Structure 1
Amino acid sequence: MAPFSGSLQPKKKADLQNIATSLGISDAGTKDELQLRIKKHLDNNQDVLEGDPQYAGLYGIRSRGGAVARKPSLQPQLPSSRLAPPKEPTPPSPSPRKAVPMDPIVETPGRGEVSVMLKAMTPFVKAPLPPSTASISTIATARRGLSTMVVQVKQAEPLVKTRSWMSNAAHIWLLSALIEFVVLLGAVVPWAWAPVGGTSVPYPLLQNRVVWMAIAWWAGPTVVVPGVLGHLVSFRGRDSFDPLTAWVVRLAGVVLVEEPRWRVVTASVGVAFAFAEAMPGSAPFADTESEEVD
């Protein structure tokens, strides 16, 4: 096997494993762990391994990197003789090979030392304090107030829906027509009584022709004509029912039924429609159609 030489730092992991196997130590671990293990073994056995030509190259480089080199041994001088003059010591011949300085060995801390350093650098975080009694009571009070508010909103929901439904002119027109129809039935339709289980139950007599004529005479100017014209003459778009038109036509029908003054009624209806068209937010049929064509 060729002798080992050079610094341990630039060597590859495979070379370090070969050195560790040759020294008889473990070759497991990372590159940094192998360097530390080999360096420690060389330091502990320097007296034995430095004289071994297999590992002398490792010590020579380490001595140039900063370690203290051993002093050369001095040969004892022989006593001078009268016959032979003393020989002058010859200077040592320079080495034909020029020494190349190598990088010093840098010790890298292992994984255990790094974890200890990180634990020492981690700041101590205090645990959060438990909430005070005042905060808990405030949260409980807020929850009770929120629950009460939710109950109140649920109780007022039917009233809100009813008010929203009643705040519509079309709904009011329909409701008023329904009330008039019920009153008409109570006033025009004759009622009879039939015994059922010991009690008398009222029922309407609808076979009378006069009843149906009265219903038709009422429904024509009150429901049918206003409903049709409310869809045809609409100031809010042609696809929606205009309650203002229905109310104007219904009022005109009531006036004509009571007293047939056609000229006054038609003029009044025209004025009402003109005001309805001039009201802000109205969408005439011509404008709506032109927008759709564009």
Structure 2
Amino acid sequence: MTASRPALLRFTRSLCCPAALSALLLSLQAVAATPSTLTAQPPVTIAPHRAIYDLSLVRASADGPFIGASGTMTFVVSDVCSAWSTQQHMELDLFPRTGEVLHSVADDSSLESRDGHHFTFASTTVTNGQTDSIIRGEAVLAPDGSGAATYTLPEKKTVPLKAGTLFPVAQNIAILEAAGRGETGLSRPVFDGTTPDGAEDSYATLLGQAVPGTLPPFAPLSGLPATRFHLATYAAGSDDRPPDFELAARMFTNGVSDEIGMTFSGTRVQATLRSLEMRPAAAHCLRRP
């Protein structure tokens, strides 16, 4: 379980806007929607929304620890004027080859400033009724992406963040913008507050951005360009090692992912978007142009 718990936390954070929420590994060999040619790229604007996903097993390796998985995840991103607020709740049952079913409940919340410089985070995971992780703290970045994360739980400590670090919403915006420019990859450190060890290295393989040829079943996504990408994260400085966590998703330019997935401990789990509710933007905000 030690390998899967951090992965579950990263998954819920990654789907934020991510991605992030934020995703369960959808096979890259799946048949993709036929793209339409884009003549211009609209700006990336994260839309406040509430999304509910059903979780299910895609595939388990022959020697993997799990043979089944099911659950639900609710993700909410809100516009609070100068920041994005996210709340995520996930309940996942993992069925091991031996032993009892693992019922994991993860609650995660964050507040990320729109300028990408300040981030507060809180996450709690409970497995079979016992709390196994509580993380709290805040992080601050300078304009070059360097800075520090200060934890209050599980222990008080400060961890430096190297130049170029992104918070989760900023990372997803960077992915969408890079894909819109026709780039094929994005490599940046990312700090999401789901582990007590600071930022991780990440590499996103961008598989193209286009308006899907088949209309998605959710009206707010119709006509919007979508980016397919595969994201791998690594412990900082761990060269020549397999990724600690992998995520794949199709994310629209309003920050909503409808096809999302993750792989951990030899297990692939898929999230299917069940419902999508768009939320209003914050009113009476005084924003600089």
Structure with more contact order per residue of length (Cα contacts < 8 Å, sep ≥ 6): 2
TM-score of the superposition, structure 2-length normalised?
Answer: 0.18
The higher radius of gyration belongs to 1
Please report the TM-score for the alignment, with normalisation by the length of structure 1: 0.18
More strand per residue: 2
